[in-house]
Structure 1
Amino acid sequence: MTKVPPKQEGDPNTTGHSWDGIEEFDNPMPRWWLWCFYLTIIWGVGYTIAYPAWPLVSSATSGLLGYSTRGEVAEEIAAVEVANEGINMRLASVELTEIANDAELNSYATSAGAAVYRTWCTQCHGSGAAGFVGYPNLLDDDWLWGGDIENIHATISHGIRNEDDDDARYSEMPAFGDILEPEEITSVVNYVMDLSGATPLDASQVSAGAEVYLDNCSACHGEEGLGDRDQGAPNLADAIWLYGGDYDTLMETVTYSRYGVMPPWTQRLSEAEIRAVSVYVHQLGGGE
């Protein structure tokens, strides 16, 4: 048992706690420390009364001062919009093809368009605009409906195959699994692989697939497979694929079809914002 040293004359009382024979004196806290502690309590109570603090069922107490970080951000955004009102009006009214000829306007549109793209477009097309399976690469020069500034603007404005905009880009490939025999689908897939420069799974079926293609596919994709932008029919003769150009993926595409949808952005973005992101996408490298 550890021996507790005797209490010296003038020592304050202890708390009664002992650790390895070491006892804790029951000294009072310094007055300045206590007053600081009390002030922090008063300040904390006052803060919860003045500012949003206590969570409720669907919101929080608003505070007597009515302060809101959201409101502060909204005010900052409104101030920026007021500052940019003039150049946004120019951007919304000038001919699309003339934006590139105005250095100031083009620079502003590119910067503003990059911000719009990062906010609304990266989820599908990627932060670098290289796309994903089912979402087009915006860096190449392969466009279903054209890659000039006017066509890009129209596509962003109205979207693709949606039911919210009567002017949406629209094309629909039939599910040939309901039209062709399995062997016909197999042969036309081998033909399309050969057409795009890939190695067919079964080269002996390419000839038969060419006939199936001419009878069923050439009306949209063209006899040489170069596609048709008026119909939104992709070029099958290059090596650029939205869903993939391997045998299994092409079998799925031909059998069941594809039906990608893009929303119309006129319902969410202003005309200036749509033009800005159109300029940004156009200058990424794939714009025509």
Structure 2
Amino acid sequence: MQWFNLSDSVNALALLGAAVILVLTVFIMGLYLKKIKDAKQSDGEQLEHTWDGIGEFANNIPIGWVACFGAVILWGFWYFFLGYPLKSFSQIGQYNQEVQKYNAAYAEKWNGLESVELREMGLSIFQVQCAQCHGPEADGMDGKAQNLVIWGKEEGIIDVIKNGSKGLGYMMEEMAPVEVSDEEAKAIAAYVMKTFSAKKETKYPLEVEKGKDLFEIHCTACHGDDGKGMEGMALDLTTYGSTSLLHKVLNQGKRGNIGIMPSFGYANFAPAQEEALNEYIQSLTAQE
């Protein structure tokens, strides 16, 4: 692997600047270390403050230090505004522009797909990017990774209530398991899905009213009465099951009880790809 390409003028300039700074640093350090070594007790003027018997002479700032400091500042202005202007060409900038152009063309081409087409696209993305950890069936391979079959559904909420959750970087950090019965967890999940989630629907409509009372007792302290997580303190439940929450996980990664999911920010998923992946995950059927 080629770490430093001297044919690139920016790299060569950076290397030259680093070498000059290094040489000057070694020279000046050696000069003053020699002065310290050769110095004798002096009766020169001292400043009033002392610390642990150590005083400070009222000497002027060394001319060499001031000269080097000023030279570095001048070199910095020259580097950013003349030698390598901020708006000049860079390989990273070119790459970012190409990615943006590609994503725009991709979004235009795949805009307005039907649900079936989105699921097919999402399946392809899942098989390439996700299946190696979450398994070909997205069930997490017996706990080796998150079970995506239940993610975004009542079963996923019940799992979090019973087992807790962590790793998305909220100010309240880890969510501890909630001490409720299975039926109570089911009722809370029904209320969250019907009232707050992106889907606004539940498989257990008769449990919603019961779940509302339980939510107020066990959940509002962190998620708030409106379920929005009190301005980032905890998860905004209105994003549960949505593409926006999937985007957060993909780009931030997640640390959980079973390991660490790395960030997929490098993959530069287009919005249409994230929508397709979420559509596929939401189409998976959880077992009763």
TM-score computed with the length of structure 2 as normaliser: 0.32
Q: Which has the larger radius of gyration?
A: 1
Which structure has more relative contact order (CA 8 Å, sep 6+)? It is: 1
The structure richer in helix per residue is 2
